[in-house]
Structure 1
Amino acid sequence: MRFRPSRKVRSTLLGSAAVLVLAGLNAPAAVDYAESAYHDYKINQPEYKARYGHWAVAEMPAKYRLDSIHATLLPTGKVLLIAGSGNNIKLFKGGTFKSTLWDPVRNTFKKIDTPKDLFCGGHTQLPDGRLLVAGGTARYEVLQGDVKRAGGAMLVKNEDPDQERTFPKGTVFRSPGGKTYAAQFPVHVPRAKKTGDPETGKVTVTASEARVYVESGEDGPGGITNTSEQYTIDGLRGRDRNNFYGMANKLAMDKKDFQGIKEAYEFDPVTEKYVQVQSMSEARWYPTLVSLDDGKVLAVSGLDDIGQVVPGKNELYDPATRTWSKAPDQYFPTYPSLFLMQGGKVFYSGSNAGYGPADKGRTPGLWDLKSNTFTPVPGIKDPDILETSSSLLLPPAQDQKVMVLGGGGVGESKKSTARTAIVDLKADKPRFTAGPELREKTRYLNSVIMPDDTVFTTGGSKDYRGRSNSNILKAQFYHPDSNHFTVAADPAVGRDYHTEALLLPDGRVAVFGSDPLFGDKDNTRPGTFEQRVEVYTPPYLYHSNRPSLQGASQQVQRGDTAVFTTPDASRITTVRLIHPGSATHVTDVDQRSVALDFKREGGRIAVSVPKDASLVPSGWYMLFVTDEHHTPSKALWVHIR
């Protein structure tokens, strides 16, 4: 695209060029200044914005800034940003946990009291608009050279069928040789199980058990134990001393991974407060939460209370009772990307983030929870480079196509890929096929479903956590109808690990966070968490005559028709329900766009909502209409029940 500067600007640029000729090669700063001035001029021209869009940094007062790890658009139109301790061990040790509520319309902010370290928990939106947040951080990782005391898992046994017991944090377990280990968390041990044989009258007691992480009472290698031992519990007397005891196989000074918590909370968007609900059975750090067609929430994976990947033990949350129950077992690495598909099955794209062995739980496939069967879906290129890739259910959801974009090798691998791949899950034998490649090899790419059925992707880095100054200042739109990318304006802020992006109700996209490992190309300075919020205004918002919808939010039953007033009924070509996003670690399984059939009725449109709960799960949605130029309205909130 050619830009024609005004006469005044041409004079300025020519003058700058003359200065640069006189300055010669000794004036790199002057060259940079001139290039920067021209760049700023170019990206602010109306023609440029109408073709590529425009980025701007949102002003956030210092007292509200935080290390955004999680971002959710609430049905009030506000955005909840959760940091918890924000990957800052000093805040963790000090018990300082942060959340900020941002109103992007008024650009106002509010601090939210945060009861636990929700850093790296899981979250999803419930049918009534509340946000379920489960899991988080119980302990930061400690590298092997920094481990001061031996520690590990202690199984606490109970052989008493008449008594359950909770042992507090600090409970001391003593080995036969006198070594002591203290529980780092409270541990509840249920009653032993008593069964009787009606024929013989014989009664059998089976000990119950619970696990807790313990650490040695002394620094150094003296606390290491490499043999299986039975441990007494200090303070117990008589029968209790025999009925309650500890068992451990190995207590060592190995690297200590992050540990999860079991606590769960609902964030109420009306009262703007966290409310504690029943805790999970498993501690989880880096879990995925995904809503199902019956309104319940599936929680999978995460690191447990001793820092190991939860071995396939999954749970279901019922919002009606605010309780958890057991779900079918299935193993996944941490933060797996799981999507509810038509028919109620869950598709695992292979995308994940963080932790898990390279040879387990990496294969994409369809999971039938009713029969607990997992059917692999083949065909993806670079299957070993799916970690930190982006995944989404392509718009509209009726097409049942899932796309994977970019990705990196397992752990701190330098590998990355420009691969995209698409699978049609309506096919008789679903199989990934290659999509158009990204402009660069990219991991940590954020992907956002837009009202015009495109997918906006932005940021990422080539290397692990932006290492070697490898952040990618590029953005683009993917067009599902033609299977190609078009270029968007370049963001000004680099984004890699711990970054999120959300579609706002006015059609813009907000991008948060970024946690580079290093702050320079040579990897000699520690990185700084990016607290700036950058907002992208797409090209369609620089078009004139944006269509409008009028009226308040509505409650609509699936299978019913809803009527909306608009002065632009004759211009409307599409109607979309878009579920608000809830993103963390390049994982956003909440967002989906559902195409609605509609009829024009004078100055109104009547839209029909599909009856299938697996296509349109209950909850709050943004209703957008677009015109013949693909320009969207502002959204109206609709509650689907």
Structure 2
Amino acid sequence: MAYWEGRGRAVADASDPARPPVVIDWTGPVRFASGDVSGVSLISGPFGNLEAVARLGRELAHYYREGATGQWHGPFRFAEGVAGRPAMLFARPRNAFFGNFEVVCPLEDGGLGHWTRDNNADGFPWSGPVRFGEGNPSAVGLLQAAWDNYELLTLEERGCRHYWTEPGGADWHGPFPVLERPAPRPPDHGASEEVARAGMTGIHATLMHTGEVLLFGFGDEGMEDAQSRIWDPVSGEVHAVAPTPHVFCSGHAADAEGRVFVAGGHHHDIHSLHTFDPGGRLWRRVGSTPGGRWYPTCCPMPGGGVLIVGGTRFPGGAESPVNNSLQLWTSAGAGPEIPVPVPFSAHFGADSPFIDTYPLVAPLPSGKVLVHSRIATRFWDPATREWDATDLRTQYEFARTYPGQGNGVLLPLRPEEGYRARFLLIGGCGELFPRIWFGVPATRTAEILDLGAEPLAWRYTAPMAFGRVMCDAVLLPDGTVLVMGGSAAGGSLNGVHPVLEVELFNPRTEEWRTVGTIRSPRLYHASAILLPDGRVLVAGKDGPLNPFPYHYPEHRLEAFRPPYLFRGPRPRIAGAPADILYGDSFPVGCPEADAVAAAALLRPESATHSVHMDQRYVELRIASRDAGQLTLEAPPDSRVAPEGHYLLFLLSADGVPSVGRFVRLR
């Protein structure tokens, strides 16, 4: 465990009514315990100490911090057979000068347990548990009311329930419903589960062609503590990777060979180019750039290279000069920096003419590259290395890119539509930097740019149910877009209103549907990617750069199962070629071939900072089907689907996907 201390101070200039009058300066972490800590409750005790109770596995343990020295002591274990998160209070029964410590925690076999420590007796003995209640709560909240009785709220899958005691803590009464919600139906809402603990913050996430996930960022010691992990979605195992370069704040995407290419990073690696080898599980420095790349975007290109766009030359965000250039990396090395026009757009003000950090970038079937920054969209032609005259402005008046980022998705490319490209923009902050603050609401709006429409222009589509900033948007095998996480207000560094609800966007009907929820707030420095089995992995949210009360590192990995995984049997891929050539037909073994309604290739994605850098969905035409076999047609060229590894999915008529099979497109 670790302890942080915050001290409030007055704001020097509190004239802005949207700015709170006090800010909190945090120090820490001070580490004082180890082990599998699953919940903590902290109080100020009667002896001038801080007192904490933590759940360690299936046990409860007590710790205290001396007020005079700041030294932590413990653990002092006093209970077992617990589950969920405990709550603790300092109670003052009559005739008990030093009072009692009261602890309530869910029990692993159901119901609740109540323990009491007598602070007036020799040795401070614990007694209990007094068992009461029912169900399987995941967490509890406990307080002492003005008339000396205890009040308890439990958090459960179906809502919240209330219990109370007689004065002094005798005889629990309840449960009494406080908030009830209908039981979720997985075929309608999906389901979420914790699948692992990474031991670090998964700020950057990439699905590799081995089926494993590479996570990298920093550990609990801060941004100097570069770390990376490998998570296996099949076994659930987490493996540390050492040494790890300082590649936090980089851009990354898989190259044509299946290596994870990483441009830039932090500290001394801001000029570096790295690759990660999935087979050897090793980082390798492969070059450098003349100008630094902090917060750049990377995307795979036709021909097998990776395009690097933007970023800043030094760490530091708005105060650092922009690296206003493009750069193409191939296995032969990095090409020259190609300047981006200044101003990037006629819609940019003279005081901020450069492209922003983490722009949204997508190679199009036309061969051009869409680049969106702030409120402007332009197109770059790799063949001529020129920008065309098109300069489009969004309908929404504020930026949907960093630091008030929403998200952007190249929607499915379908042969029946001639691989017509459409790009979706969602969410974002309701103000411009530097006026992004805690109370500024995020937008619910969404826009689509149809590259086949005349005149070419952004248009509003149906809005989301929830405003979001710093959200993730993931293309699913059924062609829908899953949106999760983010905050309902603020921006990158000050989002304190987490959105737990998950939404689905149907590009065919342009309709939104709210489905289930995720379990944990996923704010700044979270990530989400599609897994081969059709689940969506959710990771990250750092501690140092998120405000109170979310000023803690999130190590938990969560997997969301979309509703399609609960709608019936899945098609099975019994066999598929390891390599597919452009324009060729290829066989796919499938015992349920007659029931397959669609097939698609999805590129394994890389995500960070609410930017999904190489997300791509290409539908495949079904040329024929026989007993136990389909014949599919590969994409026509690398402009539709750049070279590299893809996940092949088959879908039933109900939109239920197979488990994805990795193939390599050449």
Distance in 1, Cα, partners of 2:210 & 2:154: 47
Distance in 2, Cα, partners of 1:551 & 1:68: 33
Structure 2 residue identity aligned to 1:407: G
Distance in 1, Cα, partners of 2:618 & 2:372: 20
Distance in 2, Cα, partners of 1:429 & 1:390: 24
TM-superposed deviation, 1:526: 7.0
TM-superposed deviation, 1:28: 4.9
TM-superposed deviation, 1:42: 9.0
Deviations 1:517-570 (A, max 9, x none): 788xxx666711211111101111112221111125510111111101111111
Q: Secondary structure of the equivalent of 1:403?
A: strand
What percentage of aligned pairs have identical amino acids?
A: 27
Q: Secondary structure of the equivalent of 2:234?
A: coil
Which segments of 5 or more consecutive residues in structure 2 lack a partner in the other structure? 1-110, 112-132, 138-144, 162-174, 342-353
TM-superposed deviation, 1:313: 2.7
Residue of structure 1 equivalent to 2:607: 583
Q: Pick from 424, 449, 453: which aligns with 2:450?
A: 424
Deviating more after overlay: 429-438 vs 310-319 = 310-319
CA change 1:40–1:490 in 2 (3 A) is farther
Q: Pick from 541, 547, 566: which aligns with 2:571?
A: 547
CA change 1:560–1:464 in 2 (3 A) is same
The question of whether the paired residues in 1 share the 8 Å contact of 2:525 and 2:609 is answered with: yes
TM-superposed deviation, 1:489: 0.7
Residue of structure 2 equivalent to 1:404: 425
Which structure has greater strand proportion?
A: 2
Deviations 1:285-336 (A, max 9, x none): 11111221122221121121485333423221112x1343333534521111
CA change 1:518–1:311 in 2 (3 A) is closer
Structure 1 residue identity aligned to 2:392: V
The question of whether the paired residues in 2 share the 8 Å contact of 1:391 and 1:404 is answered with: yes
Q: Does 1:393 align with 2:421?
A: no
Which segments of 5 or more consecutive residues in structure 1 lack a partner in the other structure? 1-8, 17-22, 140-259, 352-361
Residue of structure 2 equivalent to 1:633: 658
Bigger relative contact order (CA 8 A; separation at least 6): 1
Distance in 2, Cα, partners of 1:553 & 1:41: 53
Give me the TM-score of the superposition, normalised by structure 1. 0.70
Matches within 5 A, 1:67-146: 67-83=201-217, 85=218, 89=222, 92=224, 96-138=225-267
Structure 1 residue identity aligned to 2:428: G
The question of whether the paired residues in 2 share the 8 Å contact of 1:465 and 1:517 is answered with: no
The question of whether the paired residues in 2 share the 8 Å contact of 1:278 and 1:323 is answered with: yes
The question of whether the paired residues in 1 share the 8 Å contact of 2:574 and 2:588 is answered with: yes
TM-superposed deviation, 1:449: 0.3
Structure 1 residue identity aligned to 2:426: L
Structure 2 residue identity aligned to 1:327: I
The question of whether the paired residues in 2 share the 8 Å contact of 1:298 and 1:327 is answered with: no
Q: Pick from 611, 615, 638: which aligns with 2:636?
A: 611
Residue of structure 2 equivalent to 1:50: 187
For the aligned residues, what is the CA RMSD?
3.1
The question of whether the paired residues in 2 share the 8 Å contact of 1:465 and 1:515 is answered with: no
The question of whether the paired residues in 1 share the 8 Å contact of 2:314 and 2:321 is answered with: no
Residue of structure 2 equivalent to 1:469: 496
Distance in 2, Cα, partners of 1:289 & 1:543: 36
Distance in 1, Cα, partners of 2:272 & 2:178: 48
Distance in 1, Cα, partners of 2:315 & 2:498: 33
Deviating more after overlay: 74-83 vs 368-377 = 368-377
Residue of structure 2 equivalent to 1:253: none
Give me the TM-score of the superposition, normalised by structure 2. 0.67
Residue of structure 2 equivalent to 1:346: 369
Residue of structure 2 equivalent to 1:243: none
Distance in 2, Cα, partners of 1:268 & 1:602: 39
CA change 1:629–1:41 in 2 (3 A) is farther
Q: Does 1:568 align with 2:592?
A: yes
Distance in 2, Cα, partners of 1:86 & 1:75: 26
Matches within 5 A, 1:176-187: none
CA change 1:538–1:265 in 2 (3 A) is same
CA change 1:115–1:512 in 2 (3 A) is closer
CA change 1:400–1:306 in 2 (3 A) is closer
Distance in 2, Cα, partners of 1:517 & 1:65: 16
Structure 2 residue identity aligned to 1:589: M
Residue of structure 2 equivalent to 1:280: 289
Distance in 1, Cα, partners of 2:330 & 2:456: 31
Deviations 1:578-629 (A, max 9, x none): 0011001000120111011112122100110122211110000000011111
Distance in 2, Cα, partners of 1:594 & 1:263: 32
Structure 1 residue identity aligned to 2:381: D
Q: Does 1:372 align with 2:386?
A: yes
CA change 1:391–1:270 in 2 (3 A) is same
TM-superposed deviation, 1:86: 5.2
Distance in 1, Cα, partners of 2:338 & 2:329: 9
